[in-house]
A and B are shown apart, each in its own frame.
Chain A
């Protein structure tokens, strides 16, 4: 009741800003008579979103599956690596500097190369890009999370004569979960970017990135924008899915910090 009311109170300002942005968009186009190819009206974009649904939506779904695959593979590998590195100190000291340096590399620049490595027309090349983008943030955050249990908590478990495995399972993993979900939220966004940018360098004809790229090349900007809308909605859906699972799993955090 009060919870829902509070939620509504939080949503209203955001809705107002959203409505104002759309209104401003419209106003700018009307006032300066902006050509449709430079900036289509929101109405035209929504119309294309609906009228071209037989092309756009399956393309979106195709790309979404690539992003999802990359997200799953990259995040899983990130978590596994963090666990191994956390368990064996020497592995950690050997790999961490390289991992951190690799984090600074603009991985998206490898997209054309990945396309060659993993067949540009198959979804695997896009999955690979998305996976590589997701891997590092998830790994780094998971590592930090696994180390976030307080020394006292570990000491208490030792007083109960717990094994390392038991401490890992009962203390380190739950303590890491909030960190992992923070990383997964970042990774969900990155995976969609990775898949679409990967497709800009070539890919199946029924992929969203290819579609947007081709539309822009043939001056079909309205459909390109509609494609971007599809991509945004799918990105939001993936992000929302992660947030939802976070709320289901990490129930112990005070609500305002989520």
Chain B
């Protein structure tokens, strides 16, 4: 673990929004190593989505520095070092699934043949093989979110930022996509930052769960998840899984402002 490279380094980051005199993030320090799957969990308003956006350079911190792959976050964004997935799929409704997945590749200037081959690969990965020519409205919510994940992964970013990607889906679909995400993560050996509301989802997916507390948003603690891989449907029924869920819940209750 210790000899692994640092992918994300957040140092002393504070973010205030002047409009509401709101301190969204205060003195955040965080380090992510290659291959980690880190979940950010906490009540609404704890700044977890803001932290994700600061890492992706979609929001500039008020103070402090963010380094991604050893570069300033702004440079990392310009180099397209990360892929991002939001709560809703954010597919472009005028593009077919194929064209949506292709979009980052077009922007990177890949030629047509190379794009086509990669899109095939991605459709396979998220099991949407027969839906490439469909428009987004023709897909179910779960399928849309899979297309959105395929798009984020298409250009093989080593870092994946996910903002409650399964929050809008039903429990069954969510659990299936959890498994798919884990297998994709292992295949690609990427690093994931995953924002969620769900304790069991965070524990099931992660190698580490970061608990955040609101007003001002700060890190309240972290729980290392030592459940073995590959994780399966049975993982959710193991005693260790419940112990860890309890540990995260206690931390949220004590420090996360859930009292």
Which one, A158, A170, A177, contacts B58 given CB within 8 A?
Answer: A158
- Chain B: number of interface residues, binned into ranges: 20 to 34
Query: How far does the alpha carbon of A170 sit from the alpha carbon of B95 in the complex, in Å?
Result: 10
Chain B residues near A23 (CB, 8 Å)?
none
**Contact between B90 and A252 (Cβ–Cβ < 8 Å)?**
no
Chain A residues near B78 (CB, 8 Å)?
161
Q: Mark A223-252, 1 if CB is under 8 A from B, else 0.
A: 000000000000000000000000000111
Chain A residues near B135 (CB, 8 Å)?
252
Number of interface residues of A (CB under 8 A): 21
CB of A156 within 8 Å of the partner chain: yes
**Contact between B77 and A159 (Cβ–Cβ < 8 Å)?**
yes
**Contact between B86 and A252 (Cβ–Cβ < 8 Å)?**
no
CB of A174 within 8 Å of the partner chain: yes
CB distance from B79 to the nearest CB of A (A): 8
**Contact between B94 and A159 (Cβ–Cβ < 8 Å)?**
no
Q: Which of B93-139 contact A (CB under 8 A)?
A: 93-96, 103-104, 107, 135-137
> Which one of A12-20, A40-48, A147-155 is at the B interface?
A147-155
Which one, A152, A162, A174, A250, contacts B107 given CB within 8 A?
Answer: A162
Query: How far does the alpha carbon of A174 sit from the alpha carbon of B86 in the complex, in Å?
Result: 21
Chain A residues near B136 (CB, 8 Å)?
252
CB of A160 within 8 Å of the partner chain: yes
**Contact between B92 and A159 (Cβ–Cβ < 8 Å)?**
no
Q: Which of B76-91 contact A (CB under 8 A)?
A: 77-80, 82-84, 86, 88, 90
Nearest CB to that of A257 among chain B residues?
A: B137
**Contact between A174 and B94 (Cβ–Cβ < 8 Å)?**
yes
SS class of chain A's interface: helix, strand, loop or mixed? helix
Which one, A153, A175, A253, contacts B90 given CB within 8 A?
Answer: A153
Chain B residues near A160 (CB, 8 Å)?
80, 103-104, 107
Chain A residues near B92 (CB, 8 Å)?
153, 170-171, 174
CB of A254 within 8 Å of the partner chain: yes
**Contact between B94 and A156 (Cβ–Cβ < 8 Å)?**
no
CB of B56 within 8 Å of the partner chain: yes
Nearest CB to that of B135 among chain A residues?
A: A252
Query: How far does the alpha carbon of A158 sit from the alpha carbon of B94 in the complex, in Å?
Result: 19
Sort A-B residue pairs by CB-CB distance and give the 5 closest, nearest first: A174-B94, A252-B94, A152-B90, A161-B78, A159-B84
Query: How far does the alpha carbon of A161 sit from the alpha carbon of B88 in the complex, in Å?
Result: 20
Query: How far does the alpha carbon of A153 sit from the alpha carbon of B90 in the complex, in Å?
Result: 6
